[in-house]
Structure 1
Amino acid sequence: MVLTLLIGAVIAIGLASRRGYVPFPAVLGNYPGDALWAWVVLLCVAWLRPAVTRGKLMAWSLVIAFAIEFLQLYQAPWMQALRANKLAYLVLGNGFDPLDLLAYVVGIGGGAMVDRLWERRQRRLA
């Protein structure tokens, strides 16, 4: 339940950041939103595979995020038509940017740190 709520919250913050409602420094451009997107990938993998180790969680999340970024190099008409759908556009993106890969590493690494801190807090409370 907590994971589902966190996924929703991170998506909301990411969408708000794209509309300018979350004040990230302008110099960062869209990269904070990209990092949040990658964190959502991590959260979704954790939701689908709750027993996976943190290392595997990070590895799978990076593979998925990088694969989707490299898929943006593929510009077939049917793929462009798919990306015309708002939801597909938000998931698949459009236009390869190598700096997005760095944002994904930051987002997934930050998400893994939050997971570790949450786990430590839960152990302390138990």
Structure 2
Amino acid sequence: MMKRSLIWQAALIFMAMAAGLSTRKMAAALPDAVNMYAGDALWALMIFFGFGFLLRKADTKTVGLIALICCYIIECSQLYHAAWIDHIRATALGGLVLGYGFLWSDLLAYLLGIGAGILFEGIIYKRKL
């Protein structure tokens, strides 16, 4: 049974968050493909690490599936545009968490980000064994 370190998981969450936010700050210097997908993939990676933090004893595939479902639900929620949720999205934090508009390409970016997290955990925990 795997048990994730809370300190490492928290550090991974903040590293993914910092990397994702930095892609927005450096958008002018990055290629278009990176600008289009890196932020969303890193957001999904952060969600993966967040669920790893919450579900420390869960296996990697379970954490990945839960994170992917969460990301997909949030992306699909962008199809809903009531005034109350659009007011939340209009704030900086609300926009970062909930996004603004549904994009099919984001679903692929989430899959890639969570896939990277699964690969990362597989490599790290294989070394520990």
TM-score (norm 2): 0.89
* Matching residue of 2:110: 104
Structure 1 position 59 matched with structure 2 position 78: no
TM-score (norm 1): 0.91
Count the aligned residue pairs. Answer: 123
Which of these residues, 49, 73, 89, is aligned with residue 43 of structure 1?
A: 49
1:28 CA displacement: 3.6
Which of these residues, 104, 126, 129, is aligned with residue 120 of structure 1?
A: 126
Question: Could you give the per-residue CA deviations for residues 55-107 of structure 1, whole angstroms, max 9, x where no partner exists?
Answer: 11111011000000000000111110011121111111110001000000000
Return the alpha-carbon distance in structure 2 between the equivalents of residues 6 and 28 of structure 1.
21
Letter in 2 for 1:42: F
Give yes or no for contact 1:31–1:100 (8 Å, CA) kept in 2: yes
Letter in 1 for 2:42: L
Structure 1 outlier segments of 4+, above 6 Å: none
Letter in 2 for 1:122: K
User: How large is the RMSD of aligned CA atoms in angstroms?
Assistant: 1.5
Which of these residues, 9, 27, 35, is aligned with residue 15 of structure 2?
A: 9
Return the alpha-carbon distance in structure 1 between the equivalents of residues 63 and 29 of structure 2.
29
After TM superposition, the structure 1 stretch with the greater mean CA deviation from structure 2, 18-27 or 5-14, is 18-27
Structure 1 position 91 matched with structure 2 position 91: no
1:23 CA displacement: 5.6
Judged with a 3 Å threshold, the aligned counterparts in structure 2 of structure 1 residues 24 and 119 are, in CA distance, closer, same or farther, namely farther
**Structure 2: gaps of 5 or more residues:** 1-6
Structure 1 position 32 matched with structure 2 position 38: yes
